[in-house]
Amino acid sequence: MNNALRTILVKSALILSTSLAFCASASAHLLTTRISVDNGFNAYLATADNQLGTQFSSGANWGTVSSGSIVLNGADQYYLHISAFDTGGVAGLLGQFSLANSGYHFANGTTSLLTGSNLITANTTGYTGAYSATTSYGANGVAPWGTLSGISSSAQWIWSGNNNTNNFSYFSVAILKDVPANVPEPGSLGLLGLGLLALTRFGRKPK
């Protein structure tokens, strides 16, 4: 094997190795939430819509925006569940949700979602009951809550039904896995890189 060909193979192997490392680092798909609830909430990530899932965020002060994040580990579908409660007076949930690293999307095909979207459903009974559309009580900035920084001004205060009479709301948002593109898997890239490196070794003339 001549030196020029050997150089090309070595460079190709290095590029493939770098691509493999990049794929590994980019595989941590992340759900991030920013939520305020009058009066408090717990947020969960589940793989079934009738299960509570794993808790990753909570808050008990509607004047404070609570941030949370959790890694999506490869399931075909997830559900963001938010259990919200009210301790008197009007109730409401305000929030924005985002998905990082492009491995997942919401049902409308985007990687960001605001409360007020028809993709967010709720009920007053829990995660084994039927869901329905939420009721909107105005955008971020509306009375009596005013403007909360850290959440989009387009996000809506929402609740399940009447926010003066229902003390509990159970919200659900579906998260779908992207359809994979027709590209080699990271493992295949690694094997190809090793094969190219092997060719450079076997192609050397014995001394």
Task: Supply the pLDDT for residue 14.
Answer: 43
Show the tokens assigned to 19.
């691509």
**What is the signed CA dihedral for 126, 138, 175, 34, rounded to 10 degrees?**
-90
Q: Is the dihedral of CA 78, 38, 152, 108 positive or negative?
A: positive
Q: Are 79 and 173 in contact (CB under 8 A)?
A: yes
Question: Nearest CA to 149 among 37, 65, 39?
Answer: 65
| Tokens read off for 201 | 């070794």
Show pLDDT as tens, one digit a residue, over the chain (207 residues): 555 545 544 444 444 444 444 344 446 899 999 999 999 999 999 999 999 999 999 999 999 999 999 999 999 999 999 999 999 999 999 999 999 998 999 999 999 999 999 999 999 999 999 999 999 999 999 999 999 999 999 999 999 999 999 999 999 999 999 987 655 555 554 544 444 444 445 455 555
Helix (H) or strand (E) holding 7: helix 3-25
What ranges do the domains of the chain cover? 3-25+183-202, 29-177
39 preceded by a cis bond (ω within 30 of 0) = yes
Q: Which helix (H) or strand (E) holds 20?
A: helix 3-25
